[in-house]
Amino acid sequence: MSLMGTGSADRAIKQEEVRRICAEFFEQENLRGKRVLAVIPDNTRTAPIDVFFPVLYDIFADRPNRLDFLIALGTHPPMSEAAIDKRLGLRPGVRASRYPNVRVFNHAWKDPSTLRSVGTLSAEDVNKLSHGLLHKPVNVTVNRLVMEYDVVLIIGPTFPHEVVGFSGGNKYLFPGISGQDIIDMFHWLGALMTSPVIIGRKRTPVRAVVDAAASLLPTKRLCMSLVVSGKSLLGLYCGTPEEAWSAAADLSSSVHVKFFTRPFRSVLSCPAPMYDELWVAAKAAYKLEPVVADGGELIIYAPHLREISVTHGAFIEQVGYHVRDYFASRLAEFSHIPGGVLAHSTHVKGVGTYVHGKETPRITVTLATGIPRESCERVNLGYRDPRSVNPSEWQDKEDEGKLYVPDAGETLYRLHNDPFPEFS
């Protein structure tokens, strides 16, 4: 298979070009008469799925026996029918009338009846892939729909990512449409490495775990990796998930990473409106932590946020937000908490130390959201009344050690003289 596609940091790809690349790729892969399951992101990822949906449908109209879509929710809440229509760029009612043969499924990670085991990563595998950080075998489960199709076609964007380095590729399978064991395992691996060390780095142990898990799938895997900036599609790469993702990650590293000379003592990070709970809006913290000075403050300013997490809130209430070693030194005490929750907790709190029972975070993370003060204090995060925040006090104040970041969550901010070395 040869990689197809194009990409540039300064030229948007037009819809006619999208159609041409897709048509040539599907012809190359001989998808005529095949059952195709397209795996797509939910609405917490910026992606022109509304552009690709009609293109795929039109191209496939006389080719596969079936074209369906599975939403890679991971552990996110399911999307409503209205939200699905919006994701696909359809008006209410149009899907049933114009695309009656297309089915769209939400992934259900907690429902065992929807999952199937495809194998195990042995203790030896895990030890090798994690560079000795983890040692237990893990059962690899995935949405059973994958087994009912001839081809799994991943369609999704690539951005710097706090757990795996860069999102995209096989990550839309694991954790996108997988079960809890593998989700918890590799999220905790990312937490052990810490977000500032792994985010925006291409070859990471976590990516190796994701690719190893994907290799166990018996179904043919194809991928269309996208690089998106705002409403512009800058990159489209088609091939195996590994090669398409690799090309997209290279372009993403030039599109989605900003470098600064000096750190900032105060950062006002404003999550994009598509992040409707802290579980996903925390990307506004992950992407900015590397440029906050030691002892500085990172403020998540999002008055629209009212919820920590619909799915995981009860667990987060139990443990709060803490630095990595708070958990790593007391794992038996937290063995009942999913590894993915512990990973989220320590990624939000940021790096720091936990010595002789004293926790010392490197920075202060403060919420200026609709989440009340008592809730913030209960989970060990700072609080500011969002009504007291005037963004103009941060805008154009970089020389004063202040940084204002609107629509935060997809672009990574780093220092030229990076204090967080790449994992080796």
Mean pLDDT of 243-260: 98
Query: How does DSSP assign 255-280, residue by residue?
Result: HSEEEESS-EEEEEEEE-TT--SHHH
**Residue position matching structure tokens 């599609």:** 233
Q: How confident is the model at residue 422 (pLDDT cuts 50, 70, 90)?
A: confident
- pLDDT for res 421: 82
CA-to-CA distance for 322 and 310, rounded, in angstroms? 20
Using one digit for the tens of pLDDT, what is the confidence trace for 262-271? 999 999 999 9
Backbone angles phi, psi at 117, to 5 degrees: -75, 135
Which two structure tokens, joined as six digits, stand for 345?
A: 């907790």
Domains, the chain, in order of start with CATH, read 4-255 (3.40.50.11440), 259-415 (3.90.226.30)
Which two structure tokens, joined as six digits, stand for 297?
A: 């403050």
- pLDDT for res 424: 66
Using one digit for the tens of pLDDT, what is the confidence trace for 290-325? 999 999 999 999 999 999 999 999 999 999 999 999
pLDDT at 140 over 70: yes
Phi-psi region for residue 356, left (φ > 0), alpha (ψ -120 to 50) or beta?
Answer: left
- pLDDT for res 93: 85
pTM of structure:
0.95
Using one digit for the tens of pLDDT, what is the confidence trace for 73-105? 999 999 999 999 999 999 988 898 888 889 999
> How many other CB atoms are there within 10 angstroms of residue 314's CB atom?
10
Backbone angles phi, psi at 369, to 5 degrees: -135, -170
Instruction: Compute the 3-state secondary structure of the chain and give helix, strand, coil in percent, each to the nearest 5.
Output: 35, 25, 35
- pLDDT for res 423: 75
Cα end-to-end distance, the chain, whole Å = 31
Residue 122 CB contacts under 8 Å (≥ 6 apart), including other chains? 137
Using one digit for the tens of pLDDT, what is the confidence trace for 163-212? 999 999 999 999 999 999 999 999 999 999 999 999 999 999 999 999 99
* Gyration radius of the chain over CA positions: 21
Name the residue type at position 420. F
pLDDT at 64 over 80: no
- pLDDT for res 65: 78
Helical spans, DSSP H, in 91-223: 94-98, 123-129, 180-193, 195-198, 205-214
Query: For the chain, what is the mean pLDDT?
Result: 96
Give percent above pLDDT 90 in the chain.
Answer: 91
- pLDDT for res 2: 81
> How many other CB atoms are there within 10 angstroms of residue 405's CB atom?
22
